[in-house]
A and B are shown apart, each in its own frame.
Chain A
Amino acid sequence: MTIAPACPLPLMQHETVQMAHGAGGRLSQTLMQRVFMPHLHNSFLDLLDDQAKLELPAGRTAFTTDTYVVSPVFFPGGNIGELAVNGTVNDLAVGGAIPLYLSTGFVLEEGFSLVALETIVMSMASAAQNAGVIIVTGDTKVVGKGQCDSIFINTSGIGTIREGVNLSCCNLKKGDCIILSGTVGDHGMAIMTSREGLSFQSHITSDCAALNGMIGKVLDAVPMIHAMRDPTRGGVAATLNELAHSSSVGIEINETSIPVKPDVRGACELLGIDPLHVANEGKLVLVVPADCSETVLNVMRAHEHGRDAVIIGSVVNDHPGMVVMRTVFGSRRIVDLPLGEQLPRIC
């Protein structure tokens, strides 16, 4: 049996999520028909089964999951829904997979605006369409006021790994180039400066984007790339440290080559935060053999998400497990893992 999608009529103002929306009864159905299905419907979801039945292409399968809890839920450049789709798509793509299917689970706080929820669902639908993935199954729970912060979203994703591609954090070799796809810190500073209480009237925009399109083009051109990561939480510093640690090699980067947008830099200076420690949601770190680096850069720069791609450093034999930055003054310092949450500081 299929249910024809209901007309996406605008929801009434002031309408909010009720406990009954998650109780499986009539209100749950209303929520499905009025908020979720109009935007997400497809041949899998339309069946309203408890599971999606998938046919996967031959080859190895990649499978990943991530849970999104961002506050504020709406931020300049995106919202939690877009983030939940793009983040999981990127987690598949950096493993060399072609992302195919996503699942999504919502935890909604009682009292959360249904208009806001619908906006988030619409963003998920368009993000999925842009990334070429299908949301095939989902679930919604409602918790009492104060038991979660507005809305949490989990997405899991499945993709098929490309033939002949072997990306791993353990693959780094001396002499490899480290390539960064663009400016650092945009997402984290967009979130931080849009939080209440920090006196910002800023318009720093999140870089939230699906990277599978660009990654596909890069891997078509250069399948022998050694490693790829999306530098989300902990920023580029955390990603580079993980790569150096996993491969037991050193990484050396140049301070002058790290691209930072002017307003992001301004906000980082003001709050005393290192842009290398700030989260990104649409950036890519690649480790490539030096002789392929020009080709990779050219492919990336031709893509909208890689226009500012640049070589930021290289893999070295010295100081295994450590990332070292060469400063503009010729001195060197350790680029360490950030310690937990980035806090604005006055000193």
Chain B
Amino acid sequence: MKYIDEYRDPLLARNLLEEIKRKATRHWTIMEICGGQTHSIIRNGIDQLLPDSIELVHGPGCPVCVTPLESIERALLIAAKKDVIFTSFGDMLRVPGCSKDLFMVRSEGGDVRIVFSPLDALQIARDNPLKEIVFFAVGFETTAPANAMAVYQAAREGIENFSVIVSQVMVPPAMCAILSSPDNRVQGFLAAGHVCAIMGYEEYEPVAREFNVPIVPTGFEPVDLLAGILKTLELLEEGRSEVVNLYRRVVSREGNRFAQETIRKVFEVRDRQWRGIGLIPGSGLGLRPDFSRFDAEKKFNVTHICASESPQCKSGSVLQGILKPDACPAFARECTPEHPLGATMVSSEGACAAYYNYHRNAYSL
């Protein structure tokens, strides 16, 4: 596959690893923000190949994991309603609420459907004018343009039987929250390449300066990740707190301005709860007043629903890079993909699920 296979070249990967080993003079802690990168790192065993001096910690960049419990609970309530067709990316169906997930709602008669694109949900709304179609609009900046377009297009076409539960979050405020934490151990970041494809990397420059950390936007393939780690390491060794873009085939400094424009038309910045972490100011997006009629939480009057987490779940610490998944007392015991306590054990991007699937008993390998 063009633009994939070149970046899975084992020879290149091994030479990058050698360079990493050669250049690391001391212990460094690097966080990959994005859950997709975590998935790729664990799946390809990159963490096993790195020298002990490079510690990767896994960041909160998984929209499924950080969607607050109360959003899930509200989604479950709406999905169970008669005359509602609830649409979602496949990722959200197994995420546990307090006592159920969307699969269980479906098994109880809810009409829950998986879509690949938010526009598919809009098509279902066109095809079913007598039903209410609700789309679970989760995502980071990468998915925001797609979700925004569905709402924008619904308004343009006057599709009034369509609404969205918005759980949109943004990376830079989360990075700042992690760096401001007294427990922070992160010394450098791999920034999420596809988030930067939309937003560019300009907004990371002040973060790098303020917190004195190097930030390297990179891709998701093993070679991209290793090259990103190598670059972060070089910047750390040289004491340079800069943003260096290693995903140049996809990321530019300014990002995709067409996409940014639609995001701004439909959404405005809000404070946002992150599941397991808490409130991060200015870290989320909500519908602008012009589009508030597409707000499913208002339409179905569920804004009062609140919920609290299982005290056993340490996903907040995992998401902030303070705790490794297998250091959690519940890991692979009370908490498994079949019976998850928190969302990090559900999403294929969730650090706990990635550890469980590819890493469990790693010591015996």
Contact = CB atoms under 8 A, between A and B. Distances in A.
Q: Chain B interface residue count: which class? A: 35 or more
Interface stretch (A25-33, A78-86, A227-235, A325-333): A325-333
Interface in B7-22: 8, 10, 13-14
A334 B49 contact: no
Contacts of B89: 344-347
Q: Determine the main DSSP class of B at the interface with A.
A: helix
A197 B13 contact: no
Contact of A329 (B45, B338, B359): B45
B358 A339 contact: no
A319 B360 CA distance: 11
A144 interface: no
B64 A328 contact: no
Q: Chain A interface residue count: which class? A: 20 to 34
A220 interface: no
B1 interface: yes
B114 A333 contact: no
A347 B4 contact: no
Contact of A343 (B10, B93, B124): B93
A345 to B, nearest CB: 5
Interface stretch (B36-44, B73-81, B172-180, B267-275): B36-44
Contact of A319 (B4, B358, B364): B364
Interface string B68-95: 0000000000000000000001110110
A269 interface: yes
Given A329-B49, A332-B45, A347 B349 contact: yes
A345 B62 CA distance: 12
A329 B1 contact: no
Given A198-B116, A271-B116, A345-B89, A324 B365 contact: yes
A318 interface: yes
Q: Determine the main DSSP class of A at the interface with B.
A: loop
Contacts of A324: 365
Contacts of A8: none
A330 to B, nearest CB: 7
B364 A346 contact: no
Contacts of A266: 1
Nearest to B123: A197
B44 A336 contact: no
Most buried by B among A198, A343, A346: A346
B232 interface: no
Given A343-B91, A345-B90, A331 B361 contact: no
Interface in B90-107: 90-91, 93-94
A334 B358 contact: yes
A269 B120 CA distance: 19
Interface in A300-343: 318-319, 322, 324, 327-334, 336, 339-340, 343
A201 interface: no
A329 B116 contact: no
Contacts of A339: 94, 337-338
Contacts of A198: 115-116, 120
B43 A197 contact: no
A332 B361 CA distance: 12
B102 to A, nearest CB: 11
B113 interface: yes
Interface of A: 197-199, 262, 265-266, 269, 271-272, 318-319, 322, 324, 327-334, 336, 339-340, 343-347
20 contacts: A197-B114, A197-B115, A198-B115, A199-B116, A266-B1, A269-B1, A319-B361, A324-B365, A328-B10, A329-B222, A331-B44, A331-B45, A334-B365, A336-B360, A345-B89, A345-B91, A346-B116, A347-B89, A347-B91, A347-B139
Interface of B: 1, 4, 8, 10, 13-14, 35-36, 42-46, 48-49, 62-64, 89-91, 93-94, 113-117, 120, 123-124, 139, 143, 222, 337-338, 347-349, 356-361, 364-365
Given A328-B10, A331-B46, A347-B143, 17 more contacts: A265-B1, A266-B1, A319-B364, A319-B365, A328-B13, A329-B45, A330-B14, A331-B45, A331-B49, A339-B337, A343-B90, A344-B89, A345-B91, A346-B90, A346-B143, A347-B91, A347-B347
